[in-house]
Chains A and B, each alone.
Chain A
Amino acid sequence: MSLLAEMNQKALSLGLPLSVHLDITYRCNERCVHCYLDHDDHGEMTTAEITDVLTQLADAGVFFLSLSGGEVLMRRDFFEILERARQLLFNVKVKTNGVMIREKEAARLRQLGVEQVQISVYSHRPEVHDAITKLPGSLKRTIRAIRFLKSQGLKVTIANVLMAGNFSDQPGVIALSRELGVAYTLDPTITPKMDGDTSILNLRIPGAELRQVFHNADLVGNVEEFCAPPPAPGEDVMEGFPCSAGHTACYISPYGDVFPCVQFPLPSGNLRQQKFLDIWRHSPQLREVRSIRARDLPTCSTCAHVGTCTRCPGLAYMEGNMRGPSTTDCEKSFQRTGMPSANMLRQTGAGSAGPLIQIQCLS
């Protein structure tokens, strides 16, 4: 077990929040077609409120802090917030589109000891990237920012959200990240909008293309191992938690709302009304999330994939039941291994392999 995994295990046993994702604004200078946020400002926390929240998080034991948005640099006090976060010795990761980063900002990020900067890139071609961000010239400015950050010696990761409209450009983005000397990560997950609007789910890549991703050795390493049929789950799997959401991690919105995760919109308290530790320790919602073991999942506990599935309880919650399946992850498990999930079998009714062939053909 790595040292970090040991620390995570220790945080879990002590009930400590090791990681927090803090969105300091939902405002953004891009209007990405797949974005789930409402970009209007409905009363963001002030600088003083965020400073107080950061102090509370440090006192609670938070080590990893992701500052994100919206676009973090839309806040004029971003560097003030970052400086305070670093004074409190957080390990800080900044998520940005980079459009507003020039030499001066890159130097300041370096000076303040940011651990990593993650930048969204959708394509190596301006006409594709800019069509997704709806900001003309955005790819050029983002690449320029990456070069500034690299010249400062900062660790940069390109995050490539995959959609039907940019799937074929994924090798180009990998080549771009190699040329720039930065890490690359991809995410094929598109989530519904915060208001429940699911129309953007149509942007998701189809199953057959998802299968290509999972069988690409450049992306997953050992394909045979990655796509192997799941082993029979042991007792430890059935007693296990799905992920760190609410256990050692949580999400805070620009309005002070606390959720188990950025992808798990279960309101669990508000920092304008309660102290962070009160919410973390006593929120009935977080306690409920923490109480759920794999054995408590009516459908998933019967699924062959239960031990290896990336089931997201937040996506399941958005589908109507945090104990239910996340069909996005059912699809991933299926495309990865070729084996249908219990939920897919249940939906086809018969439980035979026949209808599943139709699922693949339809895509």
Chain B
Amino acid sequence: MAEKYIARSSAIAARQLGDEMMVMSTADSTFFTLNEVASTIWQAADGCTPLSEIVAGKICQQFDVDWARAQDDAERFVDELSRHGILLLSDQPLTESPVPVSR
């Protein structure tokens, strides 16, 4: 299976609110809230770290979940956000500089 690389789009607004993250697409005003796990993937979306590494290194360690299931959930999550233009998704490292990490 091809590796996936993810980067945060610059066409978004985002802010941490308690244990959730608010994300809004500036292109179509779609509004999302990300839970703690999704926020962790979001924060790690630097364009050069493979998704599998993010899942293994951050999600499995921080949330004590099985890798296969976490990887499956993560892939569905990034697919959905990429459809809304919130995340950029590629099977190659993304050279475009991601936006700064949201606060």
Contact = CB atoms under 8 A, between A and B. Distances in A.
A58 B26 contact: no
A115 interface: yes
A89 B102 contact: yes
Interface string A55-95: 00011011100000000000000000000001111111000
A7 B33 contact: yes
A88 B10 CA distance: 11
A63 B17 contact: yes
A233 B13 CA distance: 38
Between A58, A89, A91, the greatest number of chain B beta carbons within 10 A of the residue's beta carbon is seen for A89
B14 interface: yes
Interface in A219-268: none
B17 A115 contact: no
A48 interface: no
Contact of B22 (A14, A63, A86, A113): A63
Contacts of B16: 61
A13 B37 CA distance: 22
Between B13, B24, B102, the greatest number of chain A beta carbons within 10 A of the residue's beta carbon is seen for B13
Interface string B63-103: 00000000000000000000000000000000000011011
A11 interface: yes
A3 interface: yes
Contact of A91 (B18, B24, B103): B24
Interface string B12-55: 11111110101010100101110000000000000000000000
A3 B32 CA distance: 8
B100 A91 contact: no
A119 interface: no
A106 interface: no
Given A3-B33, A7-B33, A61-B15, A87 B100 contact: yes
A4 interface: yes
Contact of B100 (A16, A61, A88, A113): A88
Nearest to A62: B15
Nearest to A91: B13
A98 B49 CA distance: 43
B98 to A, nearest CB: 11
B17 A155 contact: no
Q: Which 3 A-B pairs have the closest CB atoms?
A: A91-B13, A113-B26, A63-B15
